[in-house]
Chains A and B, each alone.
Chain A
Amino acid sequence: MNLYVALKSVSALIALWFFVYYLWRDYRIDAFREHLFSIRDRMFMYAAEGNIRFDHPAYTSTRTRANLLIRHGHHLTLTRFTIVVLTHPTPDVRKILAEWARMTEDLPPDAQLKMLEFRLCISVASLQHMVYSSFFRYLIARPLTLFKDPFKVNELREHPTVANNVERLECDTVEQELPQEEAPALV
């Protein structure tokens, strides 16, 4: 075999390995954090405009969830998510929905909808991160989203059961990696 071709292939494979395991991974984590920061900032501005109190349980719980995902997002992978789905009991969606309804019952209807939208945006960001964190998965999934994009808030809004399952399981996944004292904060 031509030595030049062999060495060129070896260096290309080493470069690809470095790209896939380090550069792509770092890039996706940064992109995920940027996505969550933008949601958190929008929610902050919504509260700053007087639509919801900064100490309202719906605001604080959503912000805490965003903060913990920003901090521990590098632990959120599709493999770990799948393991949680396999090892943990299916979340009781009715209970979660009832809890959220109780938490937001004192808010005006448009604020309730807006806060739900922020929660859905976080779920969408998490799902997107889990799928796109692998370069090869990205190469397959990204072109498909041009025809049918599952990462849309409107799509999830029509499927509250899916959205709440994702949220609960995503919280469980990150919770597994949290220090003991921080785990209860993720609600």
Chain B
Amino acid sequence: MATPSQKPTRTESDYQLSYKKIDSVTTVIRDIVKWGGIGFVVYCGYLSVAALAGRSTGANIFVKILGDAKVSNGLIALLIGGGWVYGIGQQYLRRRNIQRLVSAKNALERKLDPNRTSSHLTERGTTRPGDEI
């Protein structure tokens, strides 16, 4: 009578392969949601403008939009836009500050620990181009 064949033990490469397979699928799904989402939004915008095709000129649409805009909406847009500009500006300043301070700090640390290891980020504390993918 033939003995039942034993299930082979899974190796590290098998685990990595399973991981890569599922990760590839989830990455594709994520990209579909990301780019499909923005595509759908742009398409909706196109449809709303296309509904006026032949009835209004581009200049008419622009004047109508400006005419419908209220002062309160303008203030909200200003606040939101201001928040974005402020946030992005702060990020820029923080990265410039990292660039200015870190080299001196690292040199001092290296005096105490000559074998000091590094995180290998760029001088501004951002991901190295080769590490992005």
Contacts and interface: CB of A to CB of B under 8 A. Distances in A.
A83 B26 contact: yes
Contacts of B18: 87
A3 B48 contact: yes
Contact of B115 (A3, A10, A54, A67): A54
A110 interface: no
A10 B41 contact: yes
Contacts of B127: 29, 71, 74
Contact of A17 (B30, B38, B80, B119): B38
Name the prevailing secondary structure of the A interface residues.
helix
Contacts, number: 105
A102 to B, nearest CB: 22
A33 interface: yes
B128 A71 contact: yes
Interface in B65-122: 65, 68-69, 73, 80, 84, 87-88, 91, 94, 109, 112-113, 115-121
Interface string A37-69: 100000010011000001100001001101110
Contacts of A33: 119, 121, 125
Interface centre among A5, A33, A74 (most CB of B within 10 A): A33
Chain B residues touching A, range: 35 or more
29 contacts: A2-B68, A3-B48, A3-B49, A3-B51, A3-B52, A3-B64, A4-B68, A6-B44, A7-B65, A10-B42, A11-B45, A17-B37, A17-B38, A19-B84, A21-B34, A29-B127, A30-B94, A30-B125, A44-B113, A48-B112, A54-B115, A67-B117, A70-B121, A71-B119, A71-B131, A72-B131, A86-B22, A87-B18, A176-B23
Interface of A: 1-8, 10-11, 13-15, 17, 19, 21, 23, 26-27, 29-30, 33, 37, 44, 47-48, 54-55, 60, 63-64, 66-68, 70-72, 74, 79-80, 83-84, 86-89, 176
